[in-house]
Structure formats: structure tokens, C-alpha cells
Amino acid sequence: MIDFKAILEKAESYRVEMSAFLRDMIRLPSESCNEKEVVLRIKEEMEKVGFDKIEIDPMGNILGYIGHGKHLIAMDAHIDTVGVGERDLWNYDPFEGYEDDEIIIGRGTSDQEGGMASMVYAGKIIKDLGLEDDYTLLVTGTVQEEDCDGLCWQYIIEKDKIRPEFVVITEPTSLNIYRGHRGRMEIKISTYGISCHGSAPERGDNAIYKMAPIINELKELHGNLKHDTFLGKGSLTVSEVFFSSPSRCAVADGCSISVDRRLTAGETYEYALEQIRNLDSVKAAGATVEMYDYKRPAYTGLVYPTKSYFPTWVLEEKHPACKTLVDTYKGLFNKKPLVDKWTFSTNAVSIMGRFKIPCIGFGPGHEDQAHAPNERTWKDELVKAAAMYAAIPLVYIQTIIHTSQG
Ligand SMILES: [Zn+2]
């Protein structure tokens, strides 16, 4: 029998330490590709609470291990943040932040350095209470998620050669259990023309005019995209417009647009690209339709190029990883959790979307705080998440033993 009460009490006893650690992380600005300082701060805290092994890989991801058992279970927090946006919208310094008995304000509190604070103290709780078993818990603090979700885990799986049995994504869920979200991709559509003097446009071929009907047809396409009962509808929007022209007094010889496409269940990148290539306006204009590439260097200088494609994922409710989280939640809080999905995208796009390693979400903080001014999180949620993370590995071991016997 797992002593859930003892785990909760232990988590509560670290409320102050968790809050202080989170505020330290918030004080270190860590936008994508500039996470070095915060990674070193996390390493210090992992050492302090007694992680068994700590590594920083060539991409700059930090990997902390608890235990030496056979079953590898990972928990992930990306530790980069977005920028602060319009500074005047903040009532507090986004890095110095603010704290009272209930909340902590600052960039990265909900999205999602709070998850990291809870995970590190889960490691401490496991050590304090001797909750180790035939598992190894891997706690990852990953880089560049806000810039290219999942790239960090493409590296961890392909280059670090690490393949956990499942991964808990600790992005904010308001302490609900999330088992999927839509995928996404970044598409570039280009039209080509011939420039000439603007005083005699009939001598040329205007690439911007060729793009106009494409934009209208895309708007219409958005309304007709596939719907899925759990994940909802696919969507698209035109997010950027570019042009090339010799002068303001000329016919434009090039035009391109970016499309943010959200993919629901059953929509792959091939499908989404073909769908656009088959539009009448795209064919008539002879436009090209392609995916963007991502190749921004990590803070370590490492470049690991990838396509800007982030596949959809959904974990079945009856999967042992989902069942483990539901049982842990019931054990700790004595009530049924809400099992739902994220609206936004997470590192699970590569872990489960590309590599089919099961993912399941549970995190402190709220999704609507992500990227918002005066972003905040709740101390109660940090404590409860730490208790969940400490208990999950042991509940999982009992779940799979039970399943294999039954
Ligand atoms: Zn996030």
C-alpha cells in the first residue's frame, strides 16, 4: 500500500523551497536558445536534493535521474520561455515577479518552470520517503520548446538514445490530466511574377495579385477542415505576408505567405500540403506549397535541423500511463480527475507524435496564463503536482505488475 497521505504531507513541507526555487528560475531570463543560466540553476537544485545522476547533453537539455530500476519513466518540463511582450502590460517586473501566500507572478511561472520546481521536489520526496522501486525516474529540463516544440526530444531520443516507457508532460493543466492535443505545421506558399515599371503594369505579371485569390480560398478552407470528437477541428490561418519587388513603383515579382495549420486526428503533413496544392487558386497561380525548416542553434551552438511539423497525438484512456495518473490522483486527492486535452502544443508532438512513446499530461499552472502578461501560478498546485510526480512511478510499477498478473 502506498502511503499517499505521507506523500502529500511531505510535498506540503517543501512549499517554501519549491516557491523559492521557482522564483530563482524566473529571475534568470531564459528565452529559447538562451537557457544556459536557468539550466545551471536547475542542476544546482537537483544536486542539493540528491538526484543520483545529472547530465547536460550537447543540445543543452538537463537530465536528472532518481533511482536505478529497470523501468525508465520520464517527466519533462521545457525550461525556455517566450519573451515578456509589451512591458507596460505587466504590473510587476516579469523577472523579479511577485509572490503572496497563494500565487507567484513572473514570466515562466505557469509555462512552465513551475513544472520543473514540482518535479525536482518530487525527486526529494522519493528520496525522503524511500519510494524507490524497480524504476528509474528521468526528470528533463528541455530547451527551445517555444521555438520548435519537440525538437529537444527528437535529440534526446535519436542522439542521447533514451527511450522511456512513457513521459509525463508537465505543461500547465490546472491539475487535470491531459491525454492529447492537435498537431501543427508551418507552411509557406509562394507565387511568382515578372516585375516591370509600375506605370505600365500590363508589361509585367503581378505576384501579389496571384496570391489574393489563394488567401480567400484558404479562409474558406478553414471552415471546411476535418473535425474530431475529442480533439476538435483542424484549423488554419494566414500568419505572415512577404513580397519582393524592385521598388514601390514597380509590379511585384514575388509574394509568399505563412500559414499556421493545426492538425486534428487523422491529418498528416502530406494530407495538409496536398489539400492546399489542390486548391483551384493555387493551381491557377502555379504557386509552390512547402513546409518551413527550423535550424536555429541551441545555446550550446548545436544545430539540429528539422521540418516545422509537429504531429498530432492522443493517448487512449485505458493505456497504463493514463490509468496510472488517474489512480495516483484518486489516491492522493480522493476524487475523480478531469481527463481532457490541451489547446496548445507541447513536446509530446515528437515524443508520441513522431516516436510513438506514450505521453500523458499533468501540470501545475493554467493554460490561459501561458504567454500572457502578469503570468502567474498557484502554490497549492505546485505542492499537489510534486505529490503526484513523487507517487506516479510507484503507482505505475504496481499497475503494470497488476496488468501482467491479470
Ligand atoms: Zn509551454
- Share of residues in the chain with pLDDT > 90 (%): 98
Class of domain 184-294: alpha beta
- Confidence at 401, pLDDT banded by 50, 70, 90: confident
Which of 35, 45, 57, 80 is catalytic? The answer is: 80
Question: For residue range 314-348, what is the model confidence (pLDDT) as tens digits?
Answer: 999 999 999 999 999 999 999 999 999 999 999 99
When pLDDT is averaged across residues 351-356 and rounded to a whole number, the result is: 98
Tell me how far the alpha carbon of residue 367 lies from the centroid of ligand 1, in angstroms. Answer: 8
Chain position carrying cell 528533463 = 140
Q: At what angle do helices 15-27 and 36-49 cross, to 10 degrees?
A: 160
Looking at the DSSP assignment, which residues form a beta bridge with residue 74?
138, 167
Which of 45, 99, 113, 145 is catalytic? The answer is: 145
- Confidence at 406, pLDDT banded by 50, 70, 90: low
365 DSSP 8-state letter: S
When pLDDT is averaged across residues 242-247 and rounded to a whole number, the result is: 98
> For the domain 4-181+312-405, what is the CATH code?
3.40.630.10
What are the boundaries of each domain within the chain? Answer: 4-181+312-405, 184-294
CA-to-CA distance for 265 and 234, rounded, in angstroms? 8
Q: Say which amino acid occupies 132.
A: E
Question: For residue range 96-105, what is the model confidence (pLDDT) as tens digits?
Answer: 999 999 999 9
CA-to-CA distance for 362 and 345, rounded, in angstroms? 14
User: Is 80 noted as a catalytic residue in this protein?
Assistant: yes
Question: For residue range 31-49, what is the model confidence (pLDDT) as tens digits?
Answer: 999 999 999 999 999 999 9
Q: Long-range CB contacts (< 8 A, 24+ apart) of 220-227?
A: 221/275, 221/276, 221/279, 225/264, 225/267, 226/264, 226/265, 226/266, 226/267, 227/264
Q: Which residue has the higher pLDDT, 406 or 286?
A: 286
pLDDT of residue 211: 98
Tell me how far the alpha carbon of residue 252 lies from the centroid of ligand 1, in angstroms. Answer: 39
Tell me how far the alpha carbon of residue 81 lies from the centroid of ligand 1, in angstroms. Answer: 7
- pTM as predicted: 0.93
Judged against a pLDDT cut of 80, whether residue 177 lies above it is answered with: yes
Question: For residue range 129-155, what is the model confidence (pLDDT) as tens digits?
Answer: 999 999 999 999 999 999 999 999 999
Judged against a pLDDT cut of 90, whether residue 240 lies above it is answered with: yes
CA-to-CA distance for 124 and 133, rounded, in angstroms? 15
What residues have a C-beta under 5 A from ligand 1, the ion? Answer: 111-112, 171
User: Is 145 noted as a catalytic residue in this protein?
Assistant: yes
Determine the 3-state secondary structure of 20 from DSSP.
helix
* DSSP structure string for 331-364: HHHSSPPPEE--SS--THIIIIIIT---EEE--S
Nearest partner of 310 among 363, 267, 257, 340, judged by Cα: 267
Alpha-carbon distance values, 159 to 59, 170, 304, 338, 383 (Å)? 10, 23, 10, 36, 34
Tell me how far the alpha carbon of residue 146 lies from the centroid of ligand 1, in angstroms. Answer: 7
Domains 4-181+312-405 and 184-294 share a fold: no
Tell me how far the alpha carbon of residue 166 lies from the centroid of ligand 1, in angstroms. Answer: 19
Tell me how far the alpha carbon of residue 112 lies from the centroid of ligand 1, in angstroms. Answer: 5
What does DSSP say about strands 376-378 and 103-105: parallel, antiparallel, or unpaired?
antiparallel
Tell me how far the alpha carbon of residue 53 lies from the centroid of ligand 1, in angstroms. Answer: 25
- Confidence at 404, pLDDT banded by 50, 70, 90: confident
